Amino acid sequence: MKKFMFLIILTGYCLFLKAQTFDDSKGDNLVLHIPPDQTYSTKDIAEYVKQNFVGDKKKLHAIYTWVASNLKYDTDSANIINLGLDPEAKITAALRRRRGVCENYAAIFNDICLRSGITCFIVDGYTKQNGVVDKTGHSWCAVFIDNTWLLCDPTWDEGTGNTKYFLMQPSEMIESHMPFDPLWQLLNYTVSHKQFYSGNIYLDKKQPFFNYPDSINAYIKMDSLQRLRTTAFRIEQSGLYNNMVKNRHDLTKMNIEIIRQDKDVDLYNSSVADLNNAAAIFNTFVEYRNKQFAPSITDIALQALLDGIATKLSTAHKKLDEIARTEATFKFSTDDVRTRLNALAVRVKEQKDFLSIYFNTAVPNRQSLFYNKQVTR
């Protein structure tokens, strides 16, 4: 008897899911029945979606219903996964366990969208339910579909069989979802944190007009450091209204610092590489001079042996200058590298002076220029 009842309930549930179609019930049925072995990576899921759905809206709806229907909201081990150093863990661990929190839902939805050719961004912020602001942050997504930016929150449709929060209008979403970065409100007149708390949400056209589509287009073209800088600026300008906003601002600033320091490490290593390359060219020249330029080559080719050293030394100095101007809290000492660059520059000048004399000496008399002791590298 229990088994019979279970079958009835299960059948009803599947029919209910099938009834919640976007514009093609057959399409929903397809996405809800992806072969299990294709559901443990976003790449495989995206490939299935691209092969079985035509048009971005159908693809997007298929992705949304799959994520909302196949993941279970569970805070178990969420901090261990989501606070780890590897962003991919938010996706791979949640897919393997078939459970997670809003960060996992948003990360999986976003990654499948991107792999399916749909422009999508994760939005972080906080929410309000039944008139009460939640005490923890939340994540959802912004998608660009039919030349319009709309919002999706698969977490809030998890297990419901509904698509209430699929392709939500920004003016509706702002009633329950407040992004940390006002850019992702997707509104020409942004709503303040105070308005969100009070529920008195209205478009105040006395405020400056915000052209968010152009701002997003500019954001897309930025590198990671520029994105973080502009995000931190917008969050700060909108007001650090509560601890969640303050913590997000601090996290953004910390990530800026990490990238700055990483950039400084790259600049430092690159300047040392330039120094080593210049030294290698110099040593090759000195070795050839100690052989009295034998076998002989043309004067132009001889001059070319030292060409490029000055450029490498100059480039290395510019990289060290960038480190000196960095806003990072911890700065590398560049004194040792600069000292070595300057010392090499002096020795290169000595060899250039020698070449100048060598070129201005009659060919039959050039051999006498090598009677001095050999040059050390």
Place 373 in a pLDDT band, splitting at 50, 70 and 90: low
The answer to whether residue 149 scores a pLDDT higher than 80 is yes
The pLDDT mean for the chain works out to 85
Of residues 207 and 68, more confidence is placed in 68
Integer Cα distance of 369 and 316 in angstroms: 33
What number of H helices and E strands is found in the chain? 15, 6
Integer Cα distance of 255 and 268 in angstroms: 20
CATH of 2-181, one of 2.40.10, 1.10.10, 3.10.620, 1.10.730: 3.10.620
- Mean per-residue pLDDT, 133-140: 94
- Transcribe 304-373 into DSSP letters: HTTTTHHHHHHHHHHHHHHHHT---SS----HHHHHHHHHHHHHHHHHHHHHHHHHTS-GGGGGGGG-SP
Integer Cα distance of 227 and 204 in angstroms: 27
Confidence at residue 3, expressed as pLDDT on a 0 to 100 scale: 34
Domain boundaries, the chain: 2-181, 258-370
The answer to whether residue 19 scores a pLDDT higher than 70 is no
- Mean per-residue pLDDT, 146-169: 94
E strands, 70-153, in order: 72-73, 99-100, 120-129, 132-145, 148-152
Confidence at residue 12, expressed as pLDDT on a 0 to 100 scale: 32
The 10s digit of each residue's pLDDT in 261-278 is: 888 888 999 999 999 999
**Block residue for tokens 């339910």:** 129
- Mean per-residue pLDDT, 74-101: 72
- In angstroms, the Cα distances linking 336 to 17, 311, 318, 322 are 67, 19, 15, 16
The answer to whether residue 228 scores a pLDDT higher than 90 is yes
Lowest mean pLDDT among 55-64, 149-158, 330-339: 330-339
Dmax of the chain from CA atoms?
Answer: 112
- Mean per-residue pLDDT, 241-263: 90
Integer Cα distance of 120 and 187 in angstroms: 17
Burial class (CB in 10 A: 0-12, 13-18, 19+), 170: buried
- Mean per-residue pLDDT, 127-140: 94
Confidence at residue 93, expressed as pLDDT on a 0 to 100 scale: 87
Confidence at residue 330, expressed as pLDDT on a 0 to 100 scale: 58
Confidence at residue 29, expressed as pLDDT on a 0 to 100 scale: 66
